[in-house]
Amino acid sequence: MNAPKSFTLDEIAALAELPRRTVRYYIQSGLVDRPQGIGKGAYYTQHHVEQLLLVRKWQLAGLSLERIGEVLKQQSGGPLPPTPRRAGTVEVWSHLVVADGVEITLEPGRAGLSPEQVRAFFRGVTQVYEQLHEIEEKE
C-alpha cells in the first residue's frame, strides 16, 4: 500500500513557488489548513499543496486575499456573494431599452446571471411589455 506523501514546509513552498513566509501567512490567515502534527514533527500533505496552488491561482487572477477567503469558504455550498462595491470599482452593466421611458439596467455578475440568462430575462421583459401594450390597445 502506498502511504500518502508528506512534505516539509520548504518542500510545499517550493512546489507552490512561494516563499516560506507566504505559506505561513496563508496558514495563519486560514486560507490553507494547519500542518498535521506539531512542532518538529509537523508535516504537510498533497491537500496542502493543492490549497496553496488554488490560492496562488486566484491571486494571479487578481483577487485579493480577502476575496480568496470568501471564494474558498463558498466552494462547499451556495453561490458566491457579490464583491462589495468600493470607490473606484469598475463594473460592466447591461442596459435594455424596452420602450420610450422604460429601461432596465443590471449587472449580471452581481445578479448571479449567466449571459444566456440575461438574454432570456431581457426577452421575457420585452414580451411582457408587449403583452401589456396589446391588452391596452384591445380595451
pLDDT value at residue 13: 92
Residue 123 burial class via C-beta count within 10 angstroms: exposed 0-12, middle 13-18, buried 19 and up: exposed
Which pLDDT does position 115 carry in this prediction?
Answer: 84
Which three cell numbers, joined as nine digits, stand for 118? 440575461
One-letter amino acid at 9 equals: L
Predicted local confidence at residue 123, as pLDDT: 93
Per DSSP (E only), the strands in the chain are 94-99, 102-106
- Check pLDDT > 70 for residue 3: no
Span 69-119, pLDDT tens digits:
888 877 655 555 566 677 777 777 888 898 889 899 998 877 777 888 889
pLDDT at position 121 is 92
Residue 113 pLDDT: 79
With beta carbons less than 8 A apart as the criterion, state whether 36 and 42 touch: yes
- CATH assignment of 9-74, among 2.60.40.1930, 3.30.365.10, 1.10.1660.10, 3.20.20.60: 1.10.1660.10
Query: Grid coordinates representing 104?
Result: 432596465
pLDDT tens digits for 25-45? 999 999 999 999 888 888 999
Among 57, 4, 61, residue whose Cα is nearest residue 31: 57
Cα–Cα distance between 33 and 30 in angstroms, integer?
7
| Spatial contact of 42 and 23, defined as CB atoms under 8 Å apart | no
The pLDDT assigned to 69 comes to 85
Nine cell digits for residue 75 = 466552494
Q: What is the pTM of this model?
A: 0.54
